[in-house]
């Protein structure tokens, strides 16, 4: 093909991408799209998602399709959106959780026994100031000890903290036939939940 003939052709992908760009050369609504995308990605996968899209130095991007990477201001804005979501999620978990005296009353044990369970990993909790808050999903009247079994094993393989674990434990899980991890733990199927946690951790990498 001659150089002249080749020059007369247009790249449909480039043309389409150019049509989506604003005057700055960046796709229109870039910040909004980035924020929406980040909000839809689980906490445990968010860093790898961002690096996969923008790269540490924008290496490997098709700039004709994506345009320039986000500016420092856009990166900061996206990070702030992410942090706000994390803090809101933490506050929601804390407010819906039990205090140590409440947990002790439910389990008919001393507050020190609850603390011992926290230290052993049998229960999980968050600190609010100097006080513990224990997410309510881990308590089960149908369980022999009054709380779901196997939390220490699940926490050991779960890639995230108590807030992320709570969100995950209460969400229907396709690896558990649509049941939530909390429900499956309460039923005593610890191995199944540990396996699902491992699958989720592997997917995050």
69 and 34 belong to one structural domain = yes
Pair 77, 31: CB distance under 8 Å: yes
The count of structural domains within the chain is 2
115 and 151 belong to one structural domain = yes
Q: What is the pLDDT of residues 47-58, one digit of tens each?
A: 665 555 555 454
Q: What is the pLDDT of residues 98-144, one digit of tens each?
A: 999 999 999 999 999 999 999 999 999 999 999 999 999 999 999 99
Task: Look at residues 57, 77, 92 and tell me which one is the last residue of a structural domain.
Answer: 92
Q: What is the pLDDT of residues 19-54, one digit of tens each?
A: 444 444 444 444 555 555 566 566 666 666 555 555
pLDDT at 92: 94
* Residue 106: inside a domain: yes
* Residue 4: inside a domain: no
Pair 28, 19: CB distance under 8 Å: no
Looking at the DSSP bridge assignments, the partners of residue 132 are 127
- Judge whether residue 174 has pLDDT over 80: yes
Residue span of the structural domain in which 111 resides? 97-204
164 and 134 belong to one structural domain = yes
* Residue 190: inside a domain: yes
User: Rounded CA gap, 131 and 100, in Å?
Assistant: 8
85 and 106 belong to one structural domain = no
Question: What pTM was computed for the model?
Answer: 0.63
User: Rounded CA gap, 148 and 138, in Å?
Assistant: 5
């Amino acid at each position: 093909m001659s150089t002249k003939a080749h020059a007369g052709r247009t790249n449909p992908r480039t043309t389409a991408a150019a049509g989506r760009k604003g005057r700055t050369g960046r796709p229109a609504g870039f910040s909004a799209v980035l924020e929406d995308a980040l909000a839809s990605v689980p906490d445990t996968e968010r860093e790898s998602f961002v690096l996969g899209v923008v790269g540490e130095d924008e290496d490997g991007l098709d700039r004709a399709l994506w345009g320039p990477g986000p500016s420092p201001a856009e990166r900061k804005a996206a990070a702030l959106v992410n942090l706000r979501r994390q803090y809101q999620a933490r506050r929601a978990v804390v407010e819906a959780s039990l205090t140590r005296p409440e947990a002790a009353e439910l389990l008919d044990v001393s507050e020190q026994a609850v603390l011992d369970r926290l230290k052993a990993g049998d229960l999980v909790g968050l600190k609010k100031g100097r006080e513990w808050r224990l997410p309510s999903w881990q308590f089960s009247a149908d369980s022999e000890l009054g709380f779901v079994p196997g939390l220490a094993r699940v926490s050991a393989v779960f890639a995230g903290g108590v807030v992320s674990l709570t969100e995950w434990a209460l969400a229907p899980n396709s690896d558990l036939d649509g049941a939530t991890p909390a429900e499956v733990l309460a039923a005593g199927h610890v191995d199944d939940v540990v396996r699902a946690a491992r699958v989720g951790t592997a997917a995050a990498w």
